[in-house]
Amino acid sequence: MQVKVAKTAGFCWGVRRTVDQLMEVAHERQTPVVTLGPIIHNPQFVSRTRQMGVGTVERVSEVEVGTTVVVRTHGAVKPELDAARERGLEVVDGTCPYVKYPQAMAQRLSHQGYHLVIVGDPNHAEVKGVVSYGEGPCTVVRPGAEIPPIDAKKVAVIAQTTCIGADFERVVGALALRHKEVRAVNTICADTDERQTDARQLAAEVDAVVVVGGKNSANTRHLAEICKEIQPRTWHVETEEELRPEWFAGCTLVGVSAGASTPDWVIDGVAARLGAMAGGPAALDAVIPPV
């Protein structure tokens, strides 16, 4: 059995940027450092930062004076950022620039009088942040869910950055038949689209797929869903400890994909364990993405 790792597996540019910011702050600051929400959606990485002394808070009211606050990759709700600055806390904004785009569009489009529609998970940190930048009525439509009636002539549609393109297209198309004016702004991250394309190609080439990443990671879950549609033998794991030999009975080639918030060392651990299951490192033919 050989193992092939997707070329886009692992940290995306935005996540790596935020992680680098956090590491720099954690090593240089003499004052306490906390992140506003988990810095990325990967429990293993968050656990490592906790061992470094970096705490995690959900609200600025929990932060003591003199603490440096690092905003997570997914951004934060505007009132929390305003509260941090009003208290004079040092804020390091680790929000991914690609997440800042839907935030800016939410503010601009709602200011222009559009009823804002966001295609995404209403419980996701990124979507909550985007909603907070809106200045008027806003409706969040979960992918695959029914689109509720919206009493507005002008509607603008944006998407969670990790949204699947087909879900965004479905909502835009349906609203175009209901309203006089519909403006669609594609805020899906280009990295997300490329990663999903790679996952589809990988799933079509292999006998089984392992998707690596946090169970709380939206983009990782989407990758698993995409792969499973093509290759039913698809499993979503966080670490190599979850792998089971019986999953790969009869397989000659196993593919490994990973979410944008999955560290390289976690991916390497899964690939190595798969290689060991096949009889040792010699059976590993992985294309490891560059650091």
What string of pLDDT tens digits covers the 291 residues of the chain? 899 999 899 999 999 999 999 999 999 888 899 999 999 999 999 999 999 999 999 999 999 999 999 999 999 999 999 999 899 999 999 999 999 999 999 999 999 999 999 999 999 999 999 999 999 999 999 999 999 999 999 999 999 999 999 999 999 999 999 999 999 999 999 898 899 999 999 999 999 999 999 999 989 999 999 999 999 999 999 999 999 999 999 999 999 999 999 999 999 999 999 989 876 443 334 443 332
- Dump strand ranges (E) for 101-161: 115-119, 138-141, 154-159
Distance separating alpha carbons of residues 42 and 168, to the nearest angstrom: 25
pLDDT the model gives residue 229: 96
pLDDT the model gives residue 286: 43
CA 261, 265, 266, 267: dihedral to nearest 10 degrees? 90
Please give the radius of gyration of the chain, using alpha carbons only, rounded to the nearest integer: 21
CA-to-CA separations, 116 to 112, 157, 193, 206, 245, in angstroms, rounded: 10, 6, 23, 41, 48
**Over 65-107, what HEC string results?**
CCCEEEECCCCCCHHHHHHHHHCCCEEEECCCHHHHHHHHHHH
Could you tell me which residues are beta bridge partners of residue 175? none
Q: Is 238 in contact with 19 (CB distance < 8 Å)?
A: no
Task: Tell me the catalytic residues.
Answer: 126
Domains of the chain (ranges, CATH numbers): 2-10+191-283 (3.40.1010.20), 13-96 (3.40.50.11270), 98-190 (3.40.1010.20)
Distance separating alpha carbons of residues 182 and 260, to the nearest angstrom: 31
pLDDT the model gives residue 29: 80
